[in-house]
Structure 1
Amino acid sequence: MENKSKIALVTGGSRGLGKDMALQLAKKGINVVLTYNSQADDAKNVVSQIEQIGQKAATLQLNTGDIKSFDAFVNTLSETLTNTFNTTHIDFLINNAGVGGYSLLSDVTEELFDELLNIHYKGVYFLTQKLLPMMNNGGGIINVSSGLTRVTVPRSSAYASMKGAIEVFTRYLAKELGEHGIRANTIAPGAVLTDFGGGHLRESKELQQFISNVTALGRPGEADDIGGVVAFLCTEDAKWVNGQRIEISGGMAL
């Protein structure tokens, strides 16, 4: 298997898209550190599944919206890399952790706006900044955006705005980190049936039908539709893919 000794850090890796990303990375021969916010048992379960695949894994607690906690997290990550993986650096950073937030423009509170800003943009920006010294040359960064930056759906103005910022940030990462051989790309999942946003898509047959009707492949996404693309971006097969937004939506609103 390739990349036997490479390490990916996946934020929000305890369930949903992050869990599938972590498992797909392991299947490519990549070791994984995954973070969770509150689902410690779920995270440990993912670690066990990765170990069953034959790769090393570890899990750390992290609230990606709490920027002041990042220095302590980096110290803990450094200890974990030394103790579990016998190294000091990571190769890939996947900024996946996130929360849903759906509200009409007229109803968006400053509290909701700030929560989305901190988790989806400010947290990603500064966590990436903190981790850059720990990244090996020739690695990669994958940021998670959303189909909602291209397809405009009411109630998502704040969330989608943060994801739009992430897409711009990713292009700047690609430009500034190119001298280190570090690639930066964005994936933009369409509507996916997970716990995300309180499982609002999974719980609504009406919404699922709407998504199916506007998607060329005729159904909402599943978690395992996404992780393989992230794993691909962390292989040599994707060594010339850089600064791109890759939508993974089954052909939504074409």
Structure 2
Amino acid sequence: MTSKILVVEDEREIADLLVAYIERAGMQVLRAVSVPEAIMIHSQSAPDLVLLDIGLPGGDGLDVLAAVRRRTDTPVIMVTAVDDDVSKLSSFRIGADDYVVKPFNPSEVIERIRAVLRRASGAREPKRITIGPLIIDLESRLASCVGSEASERRLNLTPTEFEILAHMARYPRRAFTRAELLEAAAPGSEAYDRVVDSHLSKLRQKLAAEGCKDLIEPVRGVGYRLWLET
């Protein structure tokens, strides 16, 4: 069945770009350019997913997100030029499923749509993620590194370190902000996002000690990503 995507965007060029890529991916598109129109179309058409800008005529995109969450659990991906941590955390706390900052790669947006739709449809998360020498068992909450002799060396991780590593491993090569990693590891936490630097420093040391050196790298001006040279 074809997925129906509601694009809420008042900048015509951006909306046209998103629509073109979504339709090319075989999905149906609905469009809205304001807060009242977005709320009305969502209630009448029941889209499978919403791409939602924050800066909109007639209010704020977060108002649309809150209205959607009061009625349904429709997946929502924020697509916005607003790149501050307060807006990101507010979006996730209200119920956003993902957050994309403009300018964006439209192909990446399509992959994020597909990933969120898979999760929403109940597609089971793999029990085990393998990235190069790193193995993460999500069911037993264990992580290990495979050495040159094919032996697994278990990582002694704290719960927060494990959550951060597992979250990054689900989206390898994606650059995460500190706020995103903090939200993944401790939803609703009031801690400063710079605390993530401390967790990542210890996590990188533990990975290196067990043979998984240089898997996590800092991304200047953004945060961190899990990277494997291919």
TM class by smaller structure? 0.3 to 0.5
Q: Which has the higher strand share?
A: 2
Structure with larger RCO (C-alpha < 8 A, sep 6+): 1
Which structure has the bigger radius of gyration? 2
Q: TM-score, normalised by structure 2?
A: 0.42
Q: Which has the higher helix share?
A: 1
Q: TM-score, normalised by structure 1?
A: 0.39
